[in-house]
Amino acid sequence: MLRIVKLVFLVAAVGGFIWFFTSVNLGDQTLYGHMKAIVTSQESKNLVEGTKQKASEVTEGVGNLLGTGDDKDGDKKEADKAEGKNKVAKGDAPAQEIVSDDDRRALDKVIRQARN
């Protein structure tokens, strides 16, 4: 029963807000009219454009700091990465690290202890 009361109250509140938003004049326009005028103004368009420009500058700066920024030799780097992946897939690439049998056994022991 309480759920139905809550639902009825919620629907009435949303309906009241929509009615107020679209039909009660606040000065010479409704709230909807004011919001529409603000959104379509040149100032808000300038704000959106400026925000997009600043956001792209920030993302480029962060990308450059992390080393993932767009470089002029981006195509060459991508080709080098693809070539490296092909070498690894074929087995032509050298091993990254040589691990002795003693080190493998010690690592296995550490892993078993961590699991228990």
**Alpha carbons 64 and 76: distance in angstroms, whole number:** 17
Residue 20 near residue 31 (C-beta atoms within 8 A) = yes
Q: CA dist 38 to 5, 54, 59, 60, 91, Å?
A: 37, 22, 28, 31, 62
**Would residue 91 be called left, alpha or beta, if left means φ above 0 and alpha means ψ between -120 and 50 degrees?**
left
Question: pLDDT digit string (tens) for 66-115?
Answer: 776 555 555 556 666 655 555 555 555 566 677 788 988 998 999 999 98
**Identity of residue 75:** D
**pLDDT number for residue 64:** 80
Contact indicator for 69, 63 with CB cutoff of 8 Å: yes
pLDDT, tens digit, 9 for 90 and up, residues 34-45: 999 999 999 999
Please give the pLDDT value at position 87: 54
Q: What are phi and psi of 68, to 5 degrees?
A: -115, 15
The pLDDT of residue 85: 54
| Residue 29 parent element (H or E) | strand 29-30
Q: What is the mean pLDDT of residues 16-39?
A: 92
pLDDT above 80 for 49? yes
